[in-house]
Each structure stands twice: as structure tokens, then as C-alpha cells.
Amino acid sequence: MPTINDVARAAGVSPSTVSYVLSGRRPISAETRARVQAAIAELGFHPHAGARALASSKTNVLALVAPLRVDVNVPVIMQFATAVVTAARSYNHDVLLLTKDEGTAGLERVAHSTMVDALILMDIERDDVRLPAIRRLKQPSVLIGLPVDHAGIACVDLDFEAAAGLALRHLAGHGHRRIGLVGPSPSVYRRQTTYADRFLAGFLQVSGELELRTATHPCEPGVDGARAALADLDTELPGLTALVVHNEEALRPLLDLLRAAGRRVPEDISIVAVCPRDVAVAMPVNLTSIDIPAHDVGTLAVETAMRLLDNRRVDFTRLLEPSLVERDSCREIGPSHR
């Protein structure tokens, strides 16, 4: 394997100059930088992350901790991961993706081995067991989520409580008074994953404020789960005229079940989905939706991590305001249908 000394000899510079080209810690002339980069390409030199860390106390690597549990929507998680990777590259950082559900062990292993400069964590729970370990780490951390005890930890996310209120107010503005919530899977609620808990809390609060008749039901994966959720909502709330669906994977089965039962969207039942835009417009009906802004949240998480690394001031809690896009799945109803 070629070494930094081999690159230096090939480029006619000192090893320290090669190091400065790699780290960007000192200005190097364009001509010299080009010679070094040409030598690196010709020799196939790959700097060792551990050696870079020892030399500069920086690895130019961020860790993204995104446990791929059986009940997570992997395509949506990957939208967040793509946003983090893209934003990190703009800061000349790579991303180490950690997908195993290891609790605190994985965090401490990565942090203590000096593999990364900072950590970004997803799938945050209400009383997340990783919080004490996060507070002990020397590397800064950013959570995509909002646990109850988040003092001193940077958190970014969509304002899910506000998103639930926005969905209900939109439907109420169309005359709907009987509205069901199709939520994530029961295991997501059992873990008290913060996005689900916060959305449910906002839904119940605004339902009371608007004096709506509502019912909520988690939804197991697959057609059977969607069928059971819809049947239970119909039983608990006879004559419901609208659904809020906070479960991307349930959307297609729900639409298929409604169509098979002769319930037209939006003529017989209105739907507001909480999902990425590409999911909303890929359904048989273009769904009115509140976007999951994976790009914005992932980018903000990286920007926050970089500000922490530079010891710059950050807002420790940043919740993005939700936005609703009206498409083809909601309609006004008259008093006789309420």
C-alpha cells in the first residue's frame, strides 16, 4: 500500500505538505495541490482515518445512527440518510452509517475509537436510554427527534404536534367532524418513539379544542393490519368522513381496501396523509399531505453538528413548521354528512 511518503516523493513535496492538502488545515497553492492530488490518484493512496485522527484530532467523518428495526420504513429512513450524506459532503465529511440496534454500546464503541467527529441519531424514544451516554461523549451529538429530557442536547425535527393540528384543522375547515387517525405500528407506540407520541398528543389536543369526534388506531404492517385498523375505526366512529394517515406503508393498502368496499376518495371519505411528497403523489389518488421534510431535517442536523464542532452558538431545539399541500383527496361536506 502506498504511504504518505510515497505521495510526497512523487509530487516533489514534503510529507507535511501532503498532510495539509488532505486536511485543509493550511492554505496550499493551486499548483502544489494539483501535483499532490495527481500523485494520490496515480498511486491509489487512501489516507488512514485513524492516522488522520491522530495527526489532526479530526476524522472528517460523521456517524449516523439509524437502527433498522423491523417496524421502520426503510425508504423514508434512507431519505434522511441521503440528506445527511449530501450535506456532510458539502463540509468535506463522510458518513458512517450504523444500522444495528445496539443501544449505548454502539455509540460508545464508535466514539471511544475516535472514528467520528460527531454523531447524528435517529429513532429517538421518549425516555431514550442512550441519553446518559450521549451526554458523556466528548463528541457532540444531534438528535433527529425530541425526547422529554433533552436539556443540553441539540434536537432537530418536524413539529409533529403542529402537524397533527394542521391536518385536523384542514379537515375541520372542510366540514369534517368525525375523523379517524391511522397511526404507526403498535411497536412504535410501545417504544414511545417521539414522532409518533408527539403526533398523537397534538391530534388529541386539537381534537378537543375543535370539539371533534375522533378515534385513533395503530396499524400493523400489511393489508391485514390496514383492514383491522379501518374496521376498528369504523366501529368506534360510525359515519366517519375523513382519515388522517400517519403511516406511509398503510396508505396503499388503505386505498385499495376503500376502493374494494366502494368508498370513493374523496367523494365518500377524505384523506390527509403525513408522508414524503413522492409517496403522496405516487398513490392511485394524489393525496393531500403534510410533507415529512427529510431533506431539510437531515441538512439541519448536519449544519447543527458542524456548528457544534466549530464551537458556534446553536439553537438546541429546532422544530420545523409543517406545511400542507392540497391535492385530490379532500372535499367539502355539508351539514347533513357531519
Shared domain check, 333 and 301:
no
Look-up of cell digits 411528497: 277
Query: Could you report the per-residue pLDDT of 271-290, keeping only the tens digit for each?
Result: 999 999 999 999 999 999 99
Give the pLDDT confidence score for residue 52 in this predicted structure.
53
Stretch 150-164: mean pLDDT? 96
Task: Report the SS3 class of residue 152.
Answer: coil
Give the pLDDT confidence score for residue 54 in this predicted structure.
46
Query: Could you report the per-residue pLDDT of 120-136, keeping only the tens digit for each?
Result: 999 999 999 999 999 98
CA distance 115 to 111: 6
Q: Is the pLDDT at 327 greater than 50, yes or no?
A: yes
What does pLDDT average to over the chain?
Answer: 91
Q: Is residue 30 part of a domain?
A: yes
Stretch 110-116: mean pLDDT? 78
Q: Output the pTM of the full model.
A: 0.82
Range of the domain at 145: 61-158+294-320
Q: Is the pLDDT at 264 greater than 70, yes or no?
A: yes
Stretch 34-41: mean pLDDT? 85
* Preceding peptide of 266 cis, ω within 30°: yes
Stretch 201-207: mean pLDDT? 98
Shared domain check, 200 and 333:
yes
Query: Could you report the per-residue pLDDT of 91-107, keeping only the tens digit for each?
Result: 989 999 988 887 788 78
Q: How far is CA 23 from the centre of its chain?
A: 30
Shared domain check, 13 and 39:
yes
Stretch 155-159: mean pLDDT? 98
CB-based burial of residue 206 (10 Å sphere; 0-12 exposed, 13-18 middle, 19+ buried)? buried
Q: Is residue 53 part of a domain?
A: no
Shared domain check, 189 and 122:
no
Shared domain check, 178 and 87:
no
Q: Is residue 174 part of a domain?
A: yes
Q: Is residue 236 part of a domain?
A: yes
Give the pLDDT confidence score for residue 57 in this predicted structure.
62
Structural domain count, the chain: 3
Shared domain check, 139 and 87:
yes
Shared domain check, 267 and 125:
no
Strand pairing partners for 183? 218
Shared domain check, 101 and 33:
no
Shared domain check, 114 and 65:
yes
Q: Is the pLDDT at 24 greater than 80, yes or no?
A: no
- Output the DSSP codes for 87-150: HHHHTT-EEEEE-S--THHHHHHHHHTT--SEEEE-S-BTT-TTHHHHHH-SS-EEEES--S--
Shared domain check, 202 and 332:
yes
Q: Is residue 52 part of a domain?
A: no
Poorest-confidence range of 46-50, 182-186, 220-224, 329-333? 46-50
Q: Is residue 330 part of a domain?
A: yes
Query: What CATH code is carried by the domain that includes residue 129?
Result: 3.40.50.2300
Give the pLDDT confidence score for residue 179 in this predicted structure.
98
- Output the DSSP codes for 213-269: EEEEEE--SHHHHHHHHHHHHHHHSTT--EEEE--GGGHHHHHHHHHHTT--TTTT-
Query: Could you report the per-residue pLDDT of 173-189, keeping only the tens digit for each?
Result: 999 999 999 999 999 99
Shared domain check, 282 and 171:
yes
CA distance 166 to 272: 10
Cα angle 135, 136, 140; round to 5: 60
Query: Could you report the per-residue pLDDT of 45-82, keeping only the tens digit for each?
Result: 876 655 555 445 678 899 999 988 877 888 899 999 99
Q: Is the pLDDT at 338 greater than 70, yes or no?
A: no
DSSP state of 287: -
- Output the DSSP codes for 57-94: S---EEEEE----TTS-HHHHHHHHHHHHHHHHHTT-E
CB-based burial of residue 80 (10 Å sphere; 0-12 exposed, 13-18 middle, 19+ buried)? buried
Under 8 Å between Cβ of 104 and 124: no
Q: List the grid coordinates of 67.
A: 437502527
Q: Is the pLDDT at 324 greater than 50, yes or no?
A: yes
Q: List the grid coordinates of 73.
A: 420504513
Shared domain check, 22 and 149:
no
